[in-house]
Homo-oligomer: A and B are copies of this chain.
Amino acid sequence: MLKLYSFGPAANSMKPLLTLYEKGLPFEKNRLDPAKFEHHTDWFKAINPHGQVPALVDGEHVITESTVICEYLEDEYPTEVSLRPATSYGKAQMRVWTKWVDEYFCWCVSTIGWHRYVGNMVKGLSDAEFEEKVAAIPVIEQQVKWRRAREGFPQDMLDEEMRKIAYSVERLDAHLREHEWLVPEQYTLADICNFAIANGMQVGFAELVNKEATPGLVRWIDQIKARPAVQKMYAEVELEQLGPRD
């Protein structure tokens, strides 16, 4: 059976979770706890040497990178529910959106998330405890991000990320006022991958994302949240045990 290692239904982890639920594929759910730094443990780095979730195990293969996992599921499991357009041009439109979320939208939202939550998580550690945690992180850029979260991100960086978030929200809303989904006439991985980042902004960035300012974006978020697969995912995945099951 497929095994998914994730932080549960939020951000990059939500992309393959939603894809699996939409396609109705059974899988073993392994939730890691970021507050316990479980993704930097030796047992998990034996699965993904980069120490990052999500990771999908399919038999002898490990597939990493959230968007790559979603395309893999479409390639390997051509279920009745297809989350990729049938035409080449539709696929290209989809990939422009999944690329944009990976290269732009997710990073600005992520930095503000780290500023708000991860900082508090690590400020309670002693210097020695913190250095031990950082030493276990295999990706240098992630080490830098943990240090910045502890020290506090520079204000000019936070301002710039907020500018990018406002631009991203405007871009999504402008498109979604005119179109039901990101790619014409079909719910695709473009919607799943952008929803994974956008959902929750009605609360966390309420001054930017609300029915008055961004009616297209809010309509689209609500429409996705009402999907049976999405409701099933939220109902089931939160209850999973932490840590791996062998």
Task: Tell me whether A99 is interfacial, beta carbon within 8 Å.
Answer: yes
A201 within 8 A of B: no
Summarize A's interface: helix, strand, loop or mixed. helix
Q: A64-B96, A65-B96, A96-B65 are in contact. Are A88 and B72 (CB under 8 A)?
A: yes
Could you tell me if A95 and B76 are in contact, using CB atoms closer than 8 angstroms?
A: no
A165: min CB distance to chain B, Å: 13
**A67 in contact with B99 (CB, 8 Å):** yes
In the complex, what distance in Å separates the CA atom of A67 from the CA atom of B65? Answer: 16
- Asked whether A68 and B96 contact (CB < 8 A) given A102-B103, A103-B102, A103-B103, the answer is yes
Q: Is the CB of B67 within 8 A of A89?
A: no
Total copies of this chain within the assembly? 2
Q: Does A167 contact B (CB under 8 A)?
A: yes
The residue that A63 contacts in the complex, of B58, B65, B92, with Cβ under 8 A, is: B92
Whether the pair A89, B61 counts as a contact (CB closer than 8 A) is yes
A71-96 vs B, CB cutoff 8 Å, 1 = contact: the mask equals: 11001100000000000110110011
Q: Is A46 positioned at the interface, with any CB of B under 8 Å from its CB?
A: no
Interface residue ranges of A43-75 to B (CB < 8 Å)? 58, 61, 63-65, 67-69, 71-72, 75
Instruction: Name A's B-contacting residues (CB within 8 A).
Output: 58, 61, 63-65, 67-69, 71-72, 75-76, 88-89, 91-92, 95-96, 99, 102-103, 140, 167
Contacts beyond the supplied A63-B89, A68-B99, A75-B92: 10 A-B pairs with Cβ under 8 Å: A61-B89, A63-B92, A68-B92, A71-B91, A71-B92, A72-B91, A72-B92, A75-B91, A76-B89, A103-B103
